[in-house]
Amino acid sequence: MTNKKLHVALLFGGNSSEHDVSKRSAHNVFDAMDKNKYDVSLFMFTKDGILLNNEYSQRIFDGEPEDAVVKEAYANMDLDAPLAPIQALSTVKQIDFFIPVIHGNLGEDGTVQGLFRLLKKPYIGSGIAASAMSFDKDLTKKIITQAGIRNTPYILLTPENRDQYDWHAIQEELGDLVFVKPAKQGSSVGIHKVENEAELKAALDDAFKYDFKVLVEQGIDHPREIEISILGNEHPIASKLGGIRVPSDDPFYDYENKFVDASGVVFDLPVILPDDLTQEITDMALKAYKALGMKGLCRIDFLVDQNNVPYLSEPNTLPGFTNISLYPQMWEVSGISYSDLIDRLIELGLAEFKRNSQIKYDFRELGTEHVGQKKYND
């Protein structure tokens, strides 16, 4: 008797600046999946946030021009229907499991996790709240600070208080080097290194295009960039550490380095650090993973100053799976192959779904409503 294959829906794309990154990640995940275990249907979120069915998604996946396929798909859809953004899911009879490979908006902010919960289906990764908190740099820093995990000081700016902070005020509080970051963006989109008033204005003008909350974060002079992969639910494990060395002319590990041209970047896998520093980073990462309530997987980024003091930079609940991405590579050097990693992530998603199904909800009939006397005072 053979085991029934798991029908997996692989979601990718999205209406974020990481749309094309997601497409690359999805290709690698698809290729790594054991087709003897899984039947895979593809669903791509367009740049407008509309989900395409397997047929159209497969065509884009196979290299047809995306805009032309999307135009054809839209012509055959009722885009005014209330469920138009997710109607494509009804084109398949049964989905056993979801793999969201959507970076940024929709994928990492709790949106698709809410959809999966409504559909009562298991999926890879963290739940609604953990995803939303971990995607918001402001909320992340508040939570890990409360948990006693070292991170850099910052000022939170909004359109309402932006005018209260000129360069002098920021310099006085945070020093001569800061980084401006949209609170809810990934892949270094909208991030700027700032060292003067003119750079601050330009950076804020750009960052506010991506979010209404912007962090101005204290900078670290020439830090080492270290990453660690986490895998697990209640009892997570950590990979060996990875190191990133960007060209000296580049201000930081930006979008271009990450996804466009990494030819000048050196990846140390694993990176060799003093034992005590390696242990401290690992402990901080696992502590943050639990404090934020994450499940399944996460890549956590650190900055290490010239005194070997590590600062947690940010978590990534749905890290990249491109050829450049370090999450799967760090597991590879830690002894877990790409295919085995996908299997483990699916097993963790199924386990978390089973665990959550044990939570009980009580429903009490109220019966006849009895209202107390209302006394209105003049």
3-state secondary structure 113-169: HHHHHHHCCCECCCCHHHHHHHHCHHHHHHHHHHCCCCCCCEEEECCCCHHHCCHHH
What's the rounded Cα separation, in Å, for the pair 54 and 39? 12
d(CA 242, CA 153): 24
Cβ contacts of 282-285, under 8 Å, gap ≥ 24? 282/228, 282/238, 282/241, 284/149, 284/150, 284/310, 284/312, 285/228, 285/230, 285/238, 285/312
Question: pLDDT, tens digit, for every residue of 133-168?
Answer: 999 999 999 999 999 999 999 999 999 999 999 999
The model's pLDDT over 15-70, given as tens digits with 9 standing for 90+, comes to 888 899 999 999 999 999 999 999 999 999 999 999 999 999 999 999 999 999 99
The single residue listed with the structure tokens 């996790």 is 113
Topology (CATH) of 6-123: Rossmann fold (3.40.50)
| Top-level class of domain 153-218 | alpha beta
| Structural domain boundaries in the chain | 6-123, 153-218, 224-356
- Structure tokens belonging to residue 245: 């060395």
Assign domain 224-356 to a CATH class: alpha beta
Nearest to 303 by CA among 295, 311, 293: 311
Give the pLDDT of residue 9: 98
Phi, psi of 212 (to 5 degrees): -90, -5
| Contact by Cβ (8 Å): 29, 125 | no
Best CA proximity match to 38, nearest among 114, 125, 124 = 124
**Encoded amino acid at 281, one letter:** I
Which tokens belong to 120? 């009562």
Q: Given this model, what pLDDT does residue 259 score?
A: 46
Q: What is the torsion angle, in degrees rounded to the nearest 10, for the CA atoms of residue 11, residue 16, residue 17 and residue 21?
A: -10
Residues of the chain with pLDDT under 50: 1, 253, 257-259
Question: pTM for the complete prediction?
Answer: 0.92
